[in-house]
């Protein structure tokens, strides 16, 4: 039974179609994985086993009749607990929210699209409070550990989703990414994660972090992500900033390879980032594989300096907005780090905010020009591998905030470009390493295509975590 937990969404759908497997079996396998691993890793806020099995039974009936509801009918999925899911509370990792006791009456757009396509919801996954940092621990749910070593962080803020997918607790999870929040845990947990172009996946309610915040798929591989993107890119009138529906399927041309693509390889953003040697070597190997597959690779750097202060202005202001209505008792219950950045964000002026927007616009202009020459930018996803769980920054690193060790991710939230992480090796401790693929805005399909080439060539093959 537990071997079914290793199947991808594409493989599950194929077996359902052939009558070789029932959604009930697949969901039971996912629930078995949760039961075996949750005590060590803590990936879920809530597990809806009874409801998941009910949905699986309904899906099985549809497949028996030859009438699947959609592209993901019967596939076990999970949802980060920042996205609304009808019928339950969205707690956002916060005791202040949990005390409210309210339940969602509607789904977030991406969740609604999964439901329309017959996906089976296993439960909600952990997040730091309001998704504010690059690791996953919160006053409400505690610490989420890495599937490869639970004493280390899963990353964040979509750490529960990444851990669930890595452990086979459903092949698909929905995450959010405001500064790296699907790519950071994706890299630390050895899975694929895509931050689509802003607006490609509708979002409602709008994030307090504004147009930094994206919704994206976290999956076993690029083929699954392309399938999920065909589902969650559907329109939703509640998001006024959503893009028009894509003209073609994200699965169209997925296997076309990278021959002829112009690839810029930036190992350290022009020497701005100190990258751990084991990480640098694994990423370079992935880049060499792209060259072997026919891409034209040049080692070069995008022309920008670290935009962290502008990012902080926008991010901390958003955090302050999230909590501005909180009373004294609610503030006292907040994660101390969140409380600190909220206080800083509340001190920014409108002119400070607009100055940060100016930095963002200039960065977007530079990257637009860069991609007129290069189809893809390739970097490490992170300069390090997973560190001790329960802390915001690695001990002894000298960093003050999580942005100190994520310099490859947040710039591309500022520019709204599609960016993905692909596993490309492990370090000496067996911890996953990720390579980041970035393309021009709206070139999501190109990112998926390049990622698929790495998977098809075996460059993304790494050991699976032990289930314990």
- Give the residue-averaged pLDDT of 434-461: 98
- Give the residue-averaged pLDDT of 230-249: 95
In this prediction, residue 234 has a pLDDT band, given cuts at 50, 70 and 90, of confident
Is 3's pLDDT higher than 90?
A: no
Residues tagged active-site = 80, 157, 181
Q: Is there a domain that residue 463 lies in?
A: no
pLDDT of 140: 96
Domain that residue 430 falls in: 2-64+71-457
Backbone angles phi, psi at 148, to 5 degrees: -85, -20
Is 246's pLDDT higher than 60?
A: yes
Is 385's pLDDT higher than 60?
A: yes
pLDDT of 415: 98
Q: Enter the pTM of the model.
A: 0.98
pLDDT digits (tens, 9 = 90+) for 187-203: 999 999 999 999 999 99
Q: Is there a domain that residue 30 lies in?
A: yes
DSSP codes, 128-172: SGGG-SSS-EETTTEEPEETTEEEEE--SSSHHHHHHHHTTS-SE
Is 118's pLDDT higher than 70?
A: yes
Tell me how far apart the alpha carbons of residues 232 and 247 are, in angstroms, rounded to a whole number: 14
- Give the residue-averaged pLDDT of 427-431: 98
Q: Is there a domain that residue 467 lies in?
A: no
CA nearest to 217, candidates 201, 200, 242, 194: 194
pLDDT of 1: 46
Q: Is there a domain that residue 465 lies in?
A: no
Tell me how far apart the alpha carbons of residues 196 and 449 are, in angstroms, rounded to a whole number: 13
pLDDT digits (tens, 9 = 90+) for 282-291: 999 999 999 9
Burial-class residue 185 by CB neighbours within 10 Å (0-12, 13-18, 19+): buried
pLDDT of 266: 98
- How remote is the C-alpha of 128 from its chain's centroid? 14
pLDDT digits (tens, 9 = 90+) for 296-315: 999 999 999 999 999 999 99
In this prediction, residue 428 has a pLDDT band, given cuts at 50, 70 and 90, of very high
Q: How many CB atoms lie within 10 A of CB 105?
A: 8
Is 2's pLDDT higher than 90?
A: no
pLDDT of 98: 81
Whether the CB-CB separation of 438 and 302 falls below 8 Å is answered with no
CATH number, domain containing residue 237: 3.90.1300.10
Sheet holding 192-195, edge to edge: 44-47, 120-125, 76-80, 172-177, 214-219, 192-195, 419-426, 432-439, 376-380, 262-265, 296-299
Region for residue 281 given its phi and psi (left: phi exceeds 0; alpha: psi -120 to 50; beta: otherwise): alpha
Q: Is there a domain that residue 462 lies in?
A: no
Q: Is there a domain that residue 466 lies in?
A: no
- Give the residue-averaged pLDDT of 45-57: 98
DSSP codes, 39-53: HHH--EEEE-HHHHH
Is 342's pLDDT higher than 80?
A: yes
In this prediction, residue 8 has a pLDDT band, given cuts at 50, 70 and 90, of very high
In this prediction, residue 99 has a pLDDT band, given cuts at 50, 70 and 90, of confident
Q: Is there a domain that residue 272 lies in?
A: yes
Whether the CB-CB separation of 250 and 448 falls below 8 Å is answered with yes
Please list, in sequence order, all residues whose beta carbon lies within 8 angstroms of the beta carbon of residue 449, skipping any fewer than 6 positions away. Answer: 253, 254, 255, 256, 257, 258
Number of structural domains found in the chain = 1
Tell me how far apart the alpha carbons of residues 245 and 355 are, in angstroms, rounded to a whole number: 33
In this prediction, residue 167 has a pLDDT band, given cuts at 50, 70 and 90, of very high
DSSP designation for 466: P
Is 468's pLDDT higher than 90?
A: no
pLDDT of 100: 77
């Amino acid at each position: 039974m537990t071997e079914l937990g290793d199947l991808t969404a594409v493989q599950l759908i194929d077996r359902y179609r052939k009558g070789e497997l029932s959604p009930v079996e697949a969901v039971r396998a996912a629930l078995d994985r949760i039961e075996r691993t949750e005590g060590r890793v803590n990936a879920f806020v809530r597990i809806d086993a009874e409801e998941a099995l009910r949905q699986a039974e309904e899906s099985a009936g549809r497949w028996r009749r030859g009438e699947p509801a959609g592209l993901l009918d019967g596939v076990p999925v999970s949802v980060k607990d920042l996205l609304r899911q009808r019928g339950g509370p969205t707690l956002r990792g916060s005791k202040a929210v949990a005390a409210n006791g309210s339940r969602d009456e509607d789904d977030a757009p991406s969740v609604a699209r999964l439901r329309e396509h017959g996906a089976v919801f296993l439960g909600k996954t952990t997040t730091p409070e309001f998704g504010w940092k690059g690791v996953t621990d919160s006053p409400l749910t505690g610490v989420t550990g890495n599937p490869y070593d639970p004493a280390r962080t899963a990353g964040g803020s979509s750490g529960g989703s990444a851990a669930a997918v890595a452990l086979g607790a459903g092949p698909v999870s929905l995450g959010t990414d405001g500064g790296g929040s699907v790519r950071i845990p994706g890299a630390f947990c050895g899975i694929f994660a895509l931050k689509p172009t802003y607006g490609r996946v509708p979002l409602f309610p709008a994030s307090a972090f504004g147009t930094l915040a994206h919704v994206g798929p976290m999956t076993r591989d690029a083929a699954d992500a392309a399938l999920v993107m065909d589902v969650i890119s559907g329109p939703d009138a509640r998001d006024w900033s959503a893009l028009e529906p894509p003209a073609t399927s994200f699965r169209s041309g997925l296997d076309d390879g990278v021959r002829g693509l112009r690839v810029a390889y930036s190992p350290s953003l022009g020497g701005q980032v100190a990258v751990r040697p084991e990480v640098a070597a694994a990423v370079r190997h992935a880049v060499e594989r792209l060259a072997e597959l026919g891409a034209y690779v040049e080692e070069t750097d995008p022309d920008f300096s670290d935009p962290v202060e502008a990012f902080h202005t926008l991010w901390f202001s958003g955090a302050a907005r999230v909590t501005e209505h909180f009373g004294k008792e609610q503030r006292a219950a907040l994660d101390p780090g969140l409380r600190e950045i909220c206080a800083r964000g509340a001190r920014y002026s409108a002119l400070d905010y607009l100055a940060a927007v100016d930095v963002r616009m200039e960065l977007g202009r530079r990257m637009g020009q860069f991609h007129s020459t290069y189809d893809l930018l390739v970097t490490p996803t992170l300069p390090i591998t997973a560190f001790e769980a329960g802390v915001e920054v690695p001990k002894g690193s000298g960093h003050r905030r999580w942005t100190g060790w994520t310099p490859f991710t947040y710039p591309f939230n500022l520019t709204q470009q599609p960016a993905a992480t692909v596993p490309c090796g492990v370090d000496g401790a067996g911890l996953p390493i990720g390579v980041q693929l970035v393309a021009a805005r709206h070139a999501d399909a190109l990112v998926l295509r390049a990622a698929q080439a790495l998977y098809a060539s075996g460059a993304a093959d790494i050991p699976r975590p032990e289930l314990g």
